[in-house]
């Protein structure tokens, strides 16, 4: 197998989460204390513009073999393997935490796995007003569930590029064929 020296090729991705407040009815069937439903995902940032999904859900599978989302240890089986697109995990819960996202590439690539980190965001960003003479910056408050529900889904996404340096010829061909 030959490496193509001096070549770098990148693939744009977005990773992050959306979250919504559970309705009263959803709370009934969710575990005790859970307040939100969320989805964490890795998606292509090179999606069709007419797509109504954030990122293209289905076009990473040709070079990504597995994505492992490592959730907080309060979750059952916190290490979640996803072996085909869409590379995402949906759950309900009550708290924010850091999610480790391990991306494994197809075996033929010979590429090492990479690790991304995402802070699961459940609560809307709120703008706080500090009256004159008060301490600044004020601690941002977590809005009440009613206010949060009115504000709608929370989105927290980051753009990144996966860069492959001196790729194997066959992997380079695979990437450029798409
Ligand atoms: C916090 N450091 O205290 C964080 C931890 C943990 C979130 C958040 C539910 C797990 C379950 C859940 O939301 N865990 O019971 O299934 O805010």
Determine whether the shortest distance from the Cβ of 93 to ligand 1 is under 6 A: yes
Picking from 23-37, 69-83, 133-147, which range would have the lowest pLDDT averaged per residue? 133-147
> Nearest Cα to 160, choosing from 120, 107, 117?
117
At residue 57, the pLDDT reads 45
CA of 33 to the centre of ligand 1 (A): 10
Question: Residue 162 CB: number of other CB atoms within 10 A?
Answer: 18
Q: Is 89 buried (19+), middle (13-18) or exposed (0-12) by CB count in 10 A?
A: buried
Report d(CA 94, CA 21) in Å as an integer: 10
At residue 142, the pLDDT reads 81
**Between the CA of residue 79 and those of 21, 68, 99, what are the distances in Å?**
24, 6, 10
Q: Whose CA is nearest to atom 12 of ligand 1?
A: 93
Report d(CA 25, CA 29) in Å as an integer: 7
From 97, 98, 119, 122, give the residue whose CB has the most ligand 1 atoms within 8 Å, as the site to mutate: 97
Read off the pLDDT of each residue in 44-60 and give the average, rounded to a whole number: 64
Could you tell me what percent of the chain has a pLDDT over 90? 75
ipTM of the complex: 0.94
pTM: 0.89
Q: Whose CA is nearest to atom 8 of ligand 1?
A: 95
Read off the pLDDT of each residue in 129-156 and give the average, rounded to a whole number: 77
């Amino acid at each position: 197998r030959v490496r193509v020296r001096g070549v770098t090729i990148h693939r744009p991705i977005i990773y992050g989460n959306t979250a919504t407040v559970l309705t009263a009815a959803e709370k009934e069937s969710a575990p005790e204390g859970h307040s939100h439903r969320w989805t964490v995902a890795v998606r292509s940032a090179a999606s069709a513009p007419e797509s109504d999904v954030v990122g293209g859900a289905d076009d990473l599978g040709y070079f990504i073999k597995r994505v492992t989302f490592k959730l907080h240890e309060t979750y059952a089986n916190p290490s979640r393997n996803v072996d085909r697109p869409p590379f995402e995990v949906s759950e309900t819960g009550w708290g924010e935490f850091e999610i480790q996202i391990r991306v494994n590439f197809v075996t033929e690539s010979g590429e090492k796995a990479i690790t991304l980190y995402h802070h699961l965001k459940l609560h809307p960003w709120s703008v706080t007003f500090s009256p004159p003479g008060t301490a600044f910056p004020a601690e941002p408050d977590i809005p009440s569930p009613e206010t949060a529900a009115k504000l709608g889904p929370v989105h927290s996404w980051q753009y990144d590029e996966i860069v492959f340096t001196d790729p194997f010829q066959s992997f380079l061909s695979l990437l450029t064929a798409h």
